[in-house]
Amino acid sequence: MWIFYPTSVFLRIFVLCSLLSCITGLTVKYSREPVTKTEGHSLTLKCTVIYEKESCDDIQATWCFAHSAKDCEPFMDPHRYLIKVNETELNQNRVRNILMTFNSLRLQDSGYYQCNAKCTISGTQGKGHLVYLNVTADPYKGLNVSKWSGQCEADTALLMLSGILILWCYCMDHHIV
């Protein structure tokens, strides 16, 4: 694991630096790597927006689910997603983190996600790249059911075996075989 550590740090920095949306005054940053998670787990997607306070004043920034290249649907259901925002100042700029947390992933959550930002004054837009979320089925889901049916099969087999034995003993006693 330790051997891979410097490589992954390098990759992460490389990913952050090779940005699609590098528009003056507004930059949207986040990891490009696809995310694979098992259903039922929680997941947080983090997006960082850096903007010039002077030219932008304020921004609107959010994560959305990309149905297509043009249509990205913002998250509405507060029971399923938790969105946290914090902001700090950095030189002449402001740095805003938008963290979207899924309480419990569903298989339907698989798909492409995007973080977009827009300056309120100039209207300058920053679109992040699409990041793929792969939600995989939980292999332990319904394990109790399979355990129970396994138990039943074993019991049936045992019952049949003892039935045959009883029959065999009966036959031996009565000199049928």
Ligand X SMILES: *[C@@H]1O[C@H](CO)[C@@H](O)[C@H](O)[C@H]1NC(C)=O
Under the binding rule (CB under 6 A), the answer on residue 136 touching ligand X is yes
The binder of ligand X chosen from 42, 103, 134, 156 (CB under 6 A): 134
Contact 131, 114 (CB under 8 A): yes
- Give me the sheet containing 93-102, strands edge to edge: 22-23, 26-29, 43-52, 93-102, 81-90
What string marks each residue from 2 to 21 as x (binds ligand X by CB under 6 A) or -? --------------------
Min dist. Cβ of residue 97 to ligand X (A)? 5
| 77: its two tokens | 């259901």
The least distance separating ligand X from the CB of residue 38, rounded to whole angstroms, comes to 9
Is 38 a binding residue for ligand X by CB under 6 A? The answer is no
- Contact residues for 64 (Cβ-Cβ < 8 A; gap 6+): 72, 73, 74, 75, 113, 114, 115, 116
Size of the site for ligand X (CB under 6 A): 8
Q: Which residue, 127 or 138, is less far from ligand X as judged by CB?
A: 138
Q: What span, in angstroms and rounded, lies between the C-alpha atoms of 120 and 105? A: 33
Buried b (16+ CB within 10 A) or exposed e, 74-113: ebeeeeebeeeeeeeeeeebbbbbbebebeebeeebeebb
Q: Which is nearer to ligand X, 11 or 40 (CB)?
A: 40
Name the 3-class secondary structure at 118.
strand
Binding to ligand X by residue 36, rule CB under 6 A?
yes
Q: Which of 7, 68, 88, 108 binds ligand X (CB under 6 A)?
A: 88
Which x/- pattern, by CB under 6 A, does the window 96-115 give for ligand X? -x-x----------------
Which spans of this chain sit near ligand X (rule: CB under 6 A)?
36, 86, 88, 97, 99, 134, 136, 144
